[in-house]
Amino acid sequence: MVLDIRDLREEAVPVAKTSLDQLLQGDPAQSHRVALSADDLDQLLAIAEDSTDSRRLEAIGTLSHHRSWLSSLRVLRRIVQLAHQEHDPRPAVALVQALRQCDEVAQFLTSKERAVAREAAQGVPISRQTLAPITAALAAGLPADSTAALLDKMRRTHPSMVPYAVDCLLQCGPNESLVRAFLAHLPQIPLFALFVEAGQPQTISPTQTRVWQQAARITTEILQQAPSTKLLRHLLSKCGEDAAFARSHARFLHGIAQRADTSLDADLIGHFERLTSGASEDKVARLAPLLVGLSGRLDGQAGQQAAALLENWKSRSASLKLKIYHLEQGIR
């Protein structure tokens, strides 16, 4: 008997067709198995808009789970308008939940209804369109739970959008506490490039200069107090490649080496080894201060690996051996 491999394929789940009343009486989470027509969507919206209809929440729940309407700008605008007009907290929250991951949900971040604002904070995406309303809402003041949800989302900001996110925040005139919290939740490599590596922009007003300098000071403190492993690896690579970079940021790099949480990167010494394998003596000399600074806080196998690598570097030349010896003795 020959087995046809097609017999092993899973059968496609048939798309159910059912009446709207049956759908509303069932589990909204199962509505993705139902094919909703344009007429079905219009009926669901009509029910959602009718404050006297007892099926309102079920209709909104179905719209929240069955999101084929996202491709229709007309339906999207209708749901946004309905959410703005809604005064009852329960359907208002349900409507904002239906808009999750849509840029339009940012319009509800400052809702007077706390549950609506919280739902908006949990559902808003981070995008070019939402960064300005997000930062404006944070600067205006939000309940602690909404603030925490938004700041946590900022960790997922794409590196290319970090300068724009910072610009949006600083234009809102935030207090120092918010600036510190906001910057602490952004990706560190683009923050370093913006405030430390690039330096102060030339074409900004005196007022903007004060705001920028405050943000630069806070950024430097954040990066030196709790540098991420990604930032540490980035700086090591950049320092090894660029002598001018290593000289310009020597003090900053020294601070990073003194405070980095080396326990978070099990292969940190391996990264040093790869960077210096077959490298010039000048490159090793640029990385030596960082490894010496880190090695004093490494324990166990990592500490032994660091010590062995330093000894390997010392064997390259008398001048390199002397430089590393001075670094180990605290002579700069």
Categorize the per-residue pLDDT at 147 as very low, low, confident or very high, splitting at 50, 70 and 90. Answer: very high
Residues 324 and 231 in one domain: yes
Q: What's the chain's average pLDDT?
A: 84
Please give the Cα distance from 161 to 6 (Å, whole number).
Answer: 47
Give the pLDDT mean for 296-325.
Answer: 84
Q: With respect to residue 51, please indicate whether it lies within any of the assigned structural domains.
A: no
Q: State which residues form the domain around 215.
A: 137-226
pLDDT tens-digit series, residues 102-115: 999 999 999 999 99
Mean of pLDDT values over 34-60: 85
| E strand spans, the chain | none
More confident residue, 34 or 269: 269
Q: What is the pLDDT of residue 88?
A: 92
> Is residue 248 in a domain?
yes
Q: How confident is the model at residue 26 (pLDDT cuts 50, 70, 90)?
A: low
Q: What is the pLDDT of residues 66-102, one digit of tens each?
A: 888 888 899 899 999 999 999 999 999 999 999 999 9
Is there a domain that residue 312 lies in? yes
What percent of the chain lies above the pLDDT cut of 70?
A: 87
Same domain, 324 and 254: yes
Position 305 confidence tier, pLDDT thresholds 50, 70, 90: confident
> What band does 149 get if pLDDT is binned at 50, 70 and 90?
very high
Residues 318, 238: one domain?
Answer: yes
Q: Does residue 35 sit within a domain?
A: no
Instruction: Write down the pLDDT at residue 10.
Output: 45
Question: What is the reported pLDDT for 301?
Answer: 79
Residue 29 lies in a domain: no
3-class DSSP string for 223-274 = HHHCCCHHHHHHHHHHHHHCHHHHHHCHHHHHHHHHHCCHHHCCCHHHHHHH
Of the residues 157, 191, 226, the one at which a domain ends:
226
Q: What is the pLDDT of residues 1-20, one digit of tens each?
A: 454 544 444 444 444 445 56
Q: Are residues 219 and 243 in the same domain?
A: no
CA pair distance 141, 132, nearest whole angstrom: 14
Same domain, 232 and 213: no
Q: Confirm whether 330 is domain-assigned.
A: yes
Is 120 within a domain? Answer: no
pLDDT digits (tens, 9 = 90+) for 187-212: 999 999 999 888 777 777 777 788 88
Q: Which of 121, 148, 115 is nearest to 134 (CA)?
A: 121
Four-residue CA torsion sign, 69, 72, 76, 82: negative
Model pLDDT, residue 134: 96
User: For residue 33, is it within any domain?
Assistant: no
Number of domains in the chain: 2
Is residue 31 predicted with pLDDT exceeding 70?
no
Same domain, 215 and 271: no
Domain-ending residue, one of 168, 203, 226: 226
Evaluate if residue 27 carries a pLDDT over 70: no
